Structure 1
Amino acid sequence: MKRRKRQKGGIFRFRKLQTVIVVFLLLVGVLCFVQWNVPYEEQERELEPVEQDSLDLVTLDQDPECLIIWEDDDTGRQGLELMEDILSQMRIPYETVQGEEANRHDLEDYETVVLSVTRWNILDETLLKLRDWLEAGGSLMALYPPEINGSFQVFAKDFGIERLGNDYVVTSGLRMTRPFMIGGDKEYVITDPFESSLSVSLDDNAEVYMESTDENLVPLIWKTKQGEGEAVFCNIGIVEKAYRGFYSTAYSLLEETCAWPVINGSTFYIDDFPSPVPGGESKYIKRDYGMTISEFYTQVWWNDVYNLAEEYGIRYTGLVIEQYSDDVEQPYERNNDTQRYRYFGNMLLDQGGEIGFHGYNHMPLCLLGFDYGDGYESYRLWHSYEDMLASIQELKSFCEEMFPKEKFQVYVPPSNILSEEGRTMLKEDVDGIKAVASVYIGGLDEVAYEQEFEVAEDGMIETPRIISGYIMDDYTQLIAFSELNFHYVNTHFQHPDDTLDEDRGAALGWEEMYQRISDYTEWLYTSASDIRNLTGSELAAAVQIYDNLEVERDYTDGRLKLHLANFRDEAWLMVRINEGTPGEVTGGSLTEVAEGLYLLEAQDDEIEIVIGQ
């Protein structure tokens, strides 16, 4: 009897243990279900792009305000292109003339003159006219340091130059001497420096705004008064797209006031996300975390990236890849492994983010005959237009199944490569795509699809990404600073697999990579606390508003009046006030963002700012 009793008790305890195990497994199952089935609520977008054809746009007929005098040599042509881009995007009407023919123009017809001239002796009598015009109240800007010759030496004093060196010097970095630029409270390194600046000493009347960080300080941007006029000299000597913000800012110093439209938007993209997660292990992830790639993505990388967005209100735009196959012919296999897509995608959407298209696979939209050049040997070409279109249609169907409440309005080309045929296809045959987000600076990659912030002739909105990755090197920081001051915009893209690639920083370890992107976001949102966090489609809408806007300025008797053509609901502008301070504002509101620089939120198409002395 006693033996039987012990058996009964043992069976009872075993059954209790079984019950505990079953309950535990059920709880684990519920937790797993919750983890991989994060719900999301449909988000209301702050801005929505509209069909460009539906807008009744007008073009203001304005007399040219600026004359660009240029020389037909390499630097002169680069300077001309740079200033044409800057002035057209600042909505400042201008004309251009080659230096030898400048004498035919009446300088009294212009408020400002920009010199993109290397050999000032070609200007001949125009130099004398410029001096008289400047003394009488004109505003003159030298875009880059010219050749040191007799003509320049004679005119140098009009730019406040007291002593002129005999040669050019290397400028390896720059810093602000006055807080006149947004984010200008730190030093910036010039990558690949060369002998680009003049060695000069200035007289006491010159106001220096920027100088070099070298042991022998060199003034890089300064302004001086000559009679009733103002002269600004840019001594950086690097005439490239990445430096637009420096030259636009220098131009804004010329007159009592300057106003130009900006985008006001910060957008962070995550390419290849959601996408199939690589299997196996990574050398550096294993070294630092002892995890597989899949475990690291879920438990570390996404957790950190998500929390960074929470801290600063970032709303990511994730760009979906369905497969990593190299299929370029129909039919295309559906990816049925969707747990991670739903988990990552729903979390991103629930945070206020957005889903866009990257591709069915990672093959750029390029047909047979397209030349990728070097470095893309693994990329294949689509066999036909129909095959290429079918791949995007499959991706769209897949995304609609995953995220049925979402609109898919943004396309990012794999490796930033996009053919004319591919772009035409997106515009004409893929319903819903409103914007293409490639790159702002093509760099040495000639095959890259380089963009401007604009609405293209066919109505597609171009929203280039300016910077990328986690390394955040010196060049990245400089161009981010430049564009913050030119367009008041930040666009950045990252990839989950940046953490696996040594060329993109993997050897640094994720902790260091994350620290660098955290430092950048802290700088961005400290420097530009009023910048708006936008998704990719919201940025497209902001770019459309910005690009369509026309600005007419009138500054008389201490009142700056702005007329905004094509205004609809909202617009943003920068206003530089070089003399006096703003008082009453009608039709908008001002926020100071740097010394003498104000962000204007326009609430009407007619704005007046009273400026007191």
Structure 2
Amino acid sequence: MYKKSIILILLGLIFTAGIFQITRLDIINKATKNVNVAKEIGDPIKINIPSHVNKEKFLIIYDEMESGSLKIRGHLNKILKKYMKKNIVEVSVNEHIEDFHYDTIIIALEYIDNIKNLENIMNFAQGGGTLIFMERPLDGENFNKIHESLGIVDHKGLLDIRGIKLKENILIGVKEFQSNEEFIENSSMDVILNDKSRVYATSYDDIPLLWSNNYGHGKIIVFNGTITNEKLNTGLMAGIISLSREDFIYPIINCKLVHIDDFPAPVPEGINDKIYKEYARTIPQFYREIWWGDMLKFSKKYNIKYTSYIIETYNDRVREPFSQDDPKAKNYLLIYGREVLKHGGEIGIHGYNHQSLAPEGYIKEDLGYNPWDSEETMVGAVKEVINYGHSVFPHYTFRTYVPPSNILSPEGRRAIKKGMPHLKIISGLYLKNYTGDVYEQEFEISEDGIIEFPRLTYGYTKRADELWTIYNGVSLFGVFSHFIHPDDILDTHRSDGKSWSELSKEFEEIQEEIYKKYGWLRANTTSEAGINLIKYEEADPYIKYGENEIEIYCNNFRPNMYFILRTNKAIKKFENCKVQNIDEGIYLIQLEDSKGTIYTEKKE
């Protein structure tokens, strides 16, 4: 009897201590100024660009009758004009080209017999210009006239080929990537090249996919495929463009960020058989003792800042009143939210619940979601989750939003702006899904001032298609933007049937590869990345290339701006900038003033 009383007293003390600790945390939390401060980036520095300094000029020739050509034209427009900040002129294949004062001409079509003055274009290359075939040309009269100038000795028709092998670092940090998976499928010419052609990539079966051939005083670059009409491969296209001259510079955003959707959120009670078998933990115990511990370990080991996105409840309510259903949810927000902030992260908003803000008929795939009846109802739900967040973090400013299932209708976007007064950034997806109903974005500032900062990749699993997307994102934007969910482990489909020990191993391998290949990327929260996107978006750089020096002039400059430089020359010295060798023949330039100079010399 005495021992039983002692045990009961001890259990009571432990319970009281636990309650006291949670209460203490709540008091400390509400007293702490957890203010998500909007950093002032200041006005940009405006400079006068010298009259002799001009932007590189690209001519894009397209065929409005070819759907693939129109897609390639659209990608090139964004890559060159929006992201690389070069000058472009777009000309239909039906137009006669008379002006050849360009640095590079890009042929973005396959029926090259439709090009009326191809001979003049070839003369442009022979005289010292660069000519790029951004899509595999088709056999015909014009092709037979020029194929030897393209480096082709023999050709035997078309092949449908799968996969890719990179022979050189056309994508930054990636020289020997290869995959035979179906996410890369091309229609290509079966060709034999001359011995002088330089091959950068082949199919998995060793059909030449990308090569260059010197032609007179200039150069011709050929992409022997059709995947350049896909948005997935815009980083590859950037790599192809960067081959167009001996030295090539373009700006990047330079950041890496990991988003955790549905976190903090209500945690299911009970036992998951797979988790219990491996860890002998309930679901809440697993998240607290295993999953979150691993995530914090990865954060410290690989220099990651997490941005987490709150879910208040998992009910399916799309009509008022909106209320909290799980009394434990606030404790999860309190405990996990504090630790996210403690480790340099950020808390954003995912939703009152996980019902995407979309009216009837907007969502094409059957996700089991209820449609919202009005924009006003959506606003009410948004205000409720903001109030819920402030009930735990009263001084915190929520600035970032991720739509549930990455779906956000125009009505939902307006509702988010009305219900979330400090909204600055929306993060959806860079690549659309097969139904076309996700919130697809570019890296940009929208007309209403909201920063659009998409996610590029997803999940814990290390897959070839995700790695390919990562490499493309880093090569064009200088961005790694990845998202996960805590409950992926509970879903057989999203976890690929794997245990947490398997998933965590693969996720760590991804982060380790990013850390080793791209250690120069700055760890950012979403708000920090948004500030860096503003700097990048508003900057207007001009590059003057000399034989032994490169001058960067940047109008609308804010410190610090980042650039990628591709060159085979040696770097002797530099002024008003820092230069870091990040790959063979590739440098990260950190511009510290509105004008910087890099001095080079030929390698022996």
TM-score normalised per structure 1: 0.90
**How far apart in 2 are the matches of 1:571 and 1:63?**
17
**Aligned residue runs from structure 1 range 199-238, under 5 A:** 199-214=190-205, 217-238=206-227
Q: Where does residue 4 of structure 1 map in the other structure?
A: none
**How far apart in 1 are the matches of 2:455 and 2:270?**
31
Q: Where does residue 63 of structure 2 map in the other structure?
A: 71
Q: Where does residue 5 of structure 1 map in the other structure?
A: none
Q: Where does residue 289 of structure 2 map in the other structure?
A: 299
Q: Where does residue 602 of structure 1 map in the other structure?
A: 591
What is the CA deviation profile of residues 487-513 of structure 1, one whole-angstrom value per residue up to 9, with x for unaligned ones? 111111111111111111252111111
Cα deviation for residue 212 of structure 1 reads 2.7
1:427 and 1:460 in contact (8 A); partners too: no
What is the CA deviation profile of residues 434-477 of structure 1, one whole-angstrom value per residue up to 9, with x for unaligned ones? 00001111120311010011111111000101111122322111
**Aligned residue runs from structure 1 range 202-281, under 5 A:** 202-214=193-205, 217-239=206-228, 240-281=230-271
Task: Name the SS for the 1:168 alignment partner.
Answer: strand
Alpha-carbon distance change, 608 to 44 in structure 1, aligned in 2, over 3 angstroms: farther
Are 2:138 and 1:147 equivalent residues in the alignment? Answer: yes
Q: Where does residue 26 of structure 1 map in the other structure?
A: 13
Q: Where does residue 85 of structure 1 map in the other structure?
A: 78
What is the CA deviation profile of residues 551-609 of structure 1, one whole-angstrom value per residue up to 9, with x for unaligned ones? 1111124221111121112111111124x222221121111112221111111111111
What is the CA deviation profile of residues 184-234 of structure 1, one whole-angstrom value per residue up to 9, with x for unaligned ones? 3432444245452222222222222222332xx122222222121122111
Alpha-carbon distance change, 231 to 32 in structure 1, aligned in 2, over 3 angstroms: farther
**How far apart in 1 are the matches of 2:458 and 2:140?**
42
Q: Where does residue 433 of structure 1 map in the other structure?
A: 423
Q: Where does residue 502 of structure 2 map in the other structure?
A: 512
1:439 and 1:465 in contact (8 A); partners too: yes
**How far apart in 2 are the matches of 1:443 and 1:221?**
28
Task: Name the SS for the 1:525 alignment partner.
Answer: helix
Task: Name the SS for the 2:147 alignment partner.
Answer: helix
Are 2:106 and 1:106 equivalent residues in the alignment? Answer: no
Q: Where does residue 119 of structure 1 map in the other structure?
A: 111
Identical-residue share of aligned pairs (%): 27
Are 2:342 and 1:350 equivalent residues in the alignment? Answer: yes
Are 2:523 and 1:529 equivalent residues in the alignment? Answer: no
Alpha-carbon distance change, 180 to 442 in structure 1, aligned in 2, over 3 angstroms: closer
Q: Where does residue 413 of structure 1 map in the other structure?
A: 403
Quick one: which amino acid aligns to residue 318 of structure 1?
A: S
Alpha-carbon distance change, 339 to 224 in structure 1, aligned in 2, over 3 angstroms: same
**Aligned residue runs from structure 1 range 449-528, under 5 A:** 449-505=439-495, 507-528=497-518
Cα deviation for residue 33 of structure 1 reads 5.5
**Aligned residue runs from structure 1 range 364-403, under 5 A:** 364-367=356-359, 369-376=360-367, 378-403=368-393
Quick one: which amino acid aligns to residue 266 of structure 1?
A: K
Alpha-carbon distance change, 483 to 459 in structure 1, aligned in 2, over 3 angstroms: same
**How far apart in 2 are the matches of 1:59 and 1:84?**
26
1:180 and 1:596 in contact (8 A); partners too: no
Are 2:174 and 1:174 equivalent residues in the alignment? Answer: no
Of the structure 1 ranges 246-255 and 306-315, higher mean CA displacement relative to structure 2 is found in: 306-315
Task: Name the SS for the 1:144 alignment partner.
Answer: coil
Task: Name the SS for the 2:297 alignment partner.
Answer: helix
The alignment covers a number of residue pairs equal to: 590
TM-score normalised per structure 2: 0.91
Are 2:125 and 1:134 equivalent residues in the alignment? Answer: yes
The answer for unaligned runs of 5 or more in structure 2 is none
The answer for unaligned runs of 5 or more in structure 1 is 1-10
Q: Where does residue 7 of structure 1 map in the other structure?
A: none
**How far apart in 2 are the matches of 1:178 and 1:92?**
22
**How far apart in 1 are the matches of 2:333 and 2:57?**
53
Quick one: which amino acid aligns to residue 275 of structure 2?
A: I
1:47 and 1:542 in contact (8 A); partners too: no
Quick one: which amino acid aligns to residue 242 of structure 2?
A: S
Alpha-carbon distance change, 555 to 44 in structure 1, aligned in 2, over 3 angstroms: farther
Alpha-carbon distance change, 49 to 202 in structure 1, aligned in 2, over 3 angstroms: farther
Q: Where does residue 156 of structure 1 map in the other structure?
A: 147
Alpha-carbon distance change, 193 to 250 in structure 1, aligned in 2, over 3 angstroms: closer
Alpha-carbon distance change, 195 to 221 in structure 1, aligned in 2, over 3 angstroms: closer
**How far apart in 1 are the matches of 2:289 and 2:343?**
18
1:175 and 1:213 in contact (8 A); partners too: no
Task: Name the SS for the 1:502 alignment partner.
Answer: coil
Q: Where does residue 601 of structure 2 map in the other structure?
A: 612
Task: Name the SS for the 1:498 alignment partner.
Answer: helix
1:36 and 1:342 in contact (8 A); partners too: no
**How far apart in 2 are the matches of 1:259 and 1:533?**
23
Are 2:307 and 1:314 equivalent residues in the alignment? Answer: no
Are 2:432 and 1:442 equivalent residues in the alignment? Answer: yes
Task: Name the SS for the 1:503 alignment partner.
Answer: coil
What is the CA deviation profile of residues 343-368 of structure 1, one whole-angstrom value per residue up to 9, with x for unaligned ones? 1111111111110000111122224x
Q: Where does residue 8 of structure 1 map in the other structure?
A: none
